[in-house]
Amino acid sequence: MSIAEIERLVQRFVSGADTSISVVHEIEAVLDDWFPDDDYVQETVEMLAMYRPGGGEFLFDKAEISQRLIQTLKHLSA
């Protein structure tokens, strides 16, 4: 999976086309495998591991995850 594929998944989630937890898990696994030593990406992985579509106690909802994914893409393209 390439960066373009990650961007495609992120775009699907951010646009609201697919906000399921499976898509987030897929992004989480890819980022964790590709950037194990990047603290920023690892923090994103932690947030993705705490994603729940409706949110919850100590969990993150769609709005927070969308914002974090956009910032992560900017971080990776920088």
Partner 1 sequence: MAEATWDGAWYNPYAPPIFASPAPPPAPLPLPAFPQDRPWWMAPPVLPAAGATGQNQPSASHLLPSGHPWGSAPLIFPPAPADAAGQGAPAQPFFPTPKPPPLADSVNTLPATPEHRAPDPVRSDYQFNKLGDAYAPAGMTDIGPPLIGDGGQLFPGTAWGRKAADIGSQLAYRYIHGLLTLPQRAIEAAQQSAEHDFGPGPAAISDSDPPWQDPLIPVAVEIALATMGGAGAVPARANTRRAGLTGARQGAAEAGTATKATGTTAVDAAASAAGRGAASSGLPAPFDGELAARQLLGTTRTPAGRSIMFHAADRMVNAPKGRIPMSAEDVDQVLDGATRIAKRSYHPQGNTLMIENSNMPGRPRVVVDEATGQRVITVINPRQQAK
Rounded to 5 degrees, φ, ψ at 58 are 60, 20
Least separation in angstroms between CB 16 and partner 1: 16
- Using the contact rule CB under 8 A, the part of the chain among 5-13, 17-25, 70-78 near partner 1 is 17-25
- Per-residue contact track with partner 1, 18 to 47, x per CB under 8 A? ---xx--xx-xxx-xx-----x--xx-xxx
> Which stretches within the chain are classed as H helix?
3-15, 21-34, 39-49, 62-77
Going from the C-alpha of 8 to that of each of 2, 37, 55, the distances in angstroms are 10, 23, 23
Contact residues for partner 1, defined by CB under 8 A: 21-22, 25-26, 28-30, 32-33, 39, 42-43, 45-47, 49-50, 52, 56-59
